[in-house]
Chains A and B, each alone.
Chain A
Amino acid sequence: MLGMISLACSTRVSEWVLLNASPEKYTLICYDNSPMSDAAKKQNSILTDNFKLANLNVSRVLKEDIKQPYYALFYKNRLLEKFNNYEDIKHIATSPMREKIADELLGGKLCVMLYLKTGDDVKDKNRLLILQNAIKNSPFKDIISIVELDRKNRAETHFTSLLLNVEDDLKNINEPMLFGIFGKFKALEPLLAGGISEENINLMIKFLIAECSCLIKDDLPGTDILYSGIWENPKPALLNKMIDLNPSLGK
């Protein structure tokens, strides 16, 4: 037992979360105003099947006072978004960028730094340069990926919306944001605007490479992003190899 405790405390935060923390589940409720027809039953079954690998529970609620059926997405009992039809939610748990990020995390990367752009070139370039320089100067540059996402990218609408729901005021802030994504698609509360500094980026990296203390485990920051994928058999963390070769990096 003591051996297990000492092993758990020497695991790094990023690896511990990937191996041990289950992503928080979202809830998708289909509000319907009439008993379920055969077509609706079929659609519901397809929906449940499509999302069986996602951190998502699907349920149906009969509500006779509504004009037309709709879907509502909740995270920790907070309503995130409403959708009017099945087509709108078909790709709610998958997108090309989410798959790419999940591959990086499963491949042993420390984290993926997602830079959410505003569409304002001046603002975006300025902070992106700081991010690129910070990573270039970091000893962990080889195990960190930078991904840029445009808010208007139509293929990533759901993903952008999920990121902007990490905190409830983000939707109203038109500034570049930097999300540290690690574990099984956990997004840290972002650095934004002037907060995207070399010092803060290094603190984010330090948080992810720190030995996993009980304090962190008990109050893990971040929000689990909705994603449909298999998290089994991740490759060994590249960070461990780096620290084995140069132990001073882990201090």
Chain B
Amino acid sequence: MRQEDTLTYDSVAARPLPKWLTDQKTGINTSQPPKIVIKKDNSLNISFAVTGIFVLLVVAILTLYIHRKHKNPL
């Protein structure tokens, strides 16, 4: 039993409509949540690539730095 459907009224004609019917008339029942679309997640690959490039860059800079440092004293 739904309390909201059983309000006081003067005649049968004035009796409130069932909630499911008013919802149906206003279209509330038919509104669907937005469909979830799964996007391809590349964040892990990007993270690996960025880390790899960073490591290679650091190794290259350090190699150059050490190479120059050992070259100069001679």
B and A form one assembly? yes
Q: CB distance A210 to B30 under 8 Å?
A: yes
Most buried by A among B1, B31, B35, B38: B1
Q: How far is the CB of B10 from chain A (nearest CB, A)?
A: 13
Binds A, one of B18-26, B40-48, B55-63, B66-74: B18-26
Could you mark each residue 164-185 of chain A with 1 if its beta carbon is under 8 Å from any beta carbon of chain B, else 0? 0111110001010000000000
Q: How far is the CB of A206 from chain B (nearest CB, A)?
A: 6
Most buried by B among A76, A169, A190: A169
Q: CB distance A189 to B20 under 8 Å?
A: yes
Q: CB distance A213 to B6 under 8 Å?
A: no
Question: Which chain A residues numbered 9 to 63 have a C-beta less than 8 Å away from chain B?
Answer: 9
Question: Which chain B residues numbered 2 to 32 have a C-beta less than 8 Å away from chain A?
Answer: 2, 5-6, 12-13, 15, 17-21, 24-25, 28-32
Q: CB distance A189 to B24 under 8 Å?
A: no
Residue A92 lies at the interface, judged by CB distance under 8 Å to chain B: no
Residue A78 lies at the interface, judged by CB distance under 8 Å to chain B: yes
Most buried by B among A2, A190, A203: A203
Residue A211 lies at the interface, judged by CB distance under 8 Å to chain B: yes
In the complex, chain B residues whose CB is within 8 Å of the CB of A5: 36
Q: How far is the CB of B44 from chain A (nearest CB, A)?
A: 19
Could you mark each residue 129-143 of chain A with 1 if its beta carbon is under 8 Å from any beta carbon of chain B, else 0? 000000000000000
Q: CB distance B20 to A167 under 8 Å?
A: no
Q: How far is the CB of A209 from chain B (nearest CB, A)?
A: 11
Q: How far is the CB of B13 from chain A (nearest CB, A)?
A: 6
In the complex, chain A residues whose CB is within 8 Å of the CB of B19: 189, 221
* A75 to B1 CA separation, bound complex (whole angstroms): 9
Question: Which chain A residues numbered 197 to 232 have a C-beta less than 8 Å away from chain B?
Answer: 200, 203-204, 206-207, 210-211, 213-216, 221-223
Q: Is the interface of A mostly helix, strand, loop or mixed?
A: mixed
Q: CB distance A203 to B12 under 8 Å?
A: no
* A191 to B12 CA separation, bound complex (whole angstroms): 11
Q: CB distance B20 to A222 under 8 Å?
A: yes
In the complex, chain B residues whose CB is within 8 Å of the CB of A173: 12, 15
Q: How far is the CB of B69 from chain A (nearest CB, A)?
A: 56
Q: How far is the CB of A192 from chain B (nearest CB, A)?
A: 7
* A198 to B29 CA separation, bound complex (whole angstroms): 19
- Residue in B closest to A13 when the chains form the complex, CB atoms: B29
Q: CB distance A166 to B33 under 8 Å?
A: no
Q: Of A6, A75, A222, which one neighbours B35 at CB under 8 angstroms?
A: A6
Instruction: List 28 A-B pairs, Cβ < 8 Å.
Output: A2-B36, A9-B32, A9-B33, A75-B1, A76-B1, A165-B1, A169-B6, A188-B18, A188-B20, A189-B2, A189-B21, A191-B21, A193-B12, A193-B13, A194-B13, A195-B17, A203-B25, A204-B21, A204-B24, A206-B24, A207-B20, A213-B29, A213-B32, A215-B29, A215-B31, A216-B29, A221-B19, A223-B1
Q: B residues engaging A (CB < 8 A)?
A: 1-2, 5-6, 12-13, 15, 17-21, 24-25, 28-33, 35-36, 38
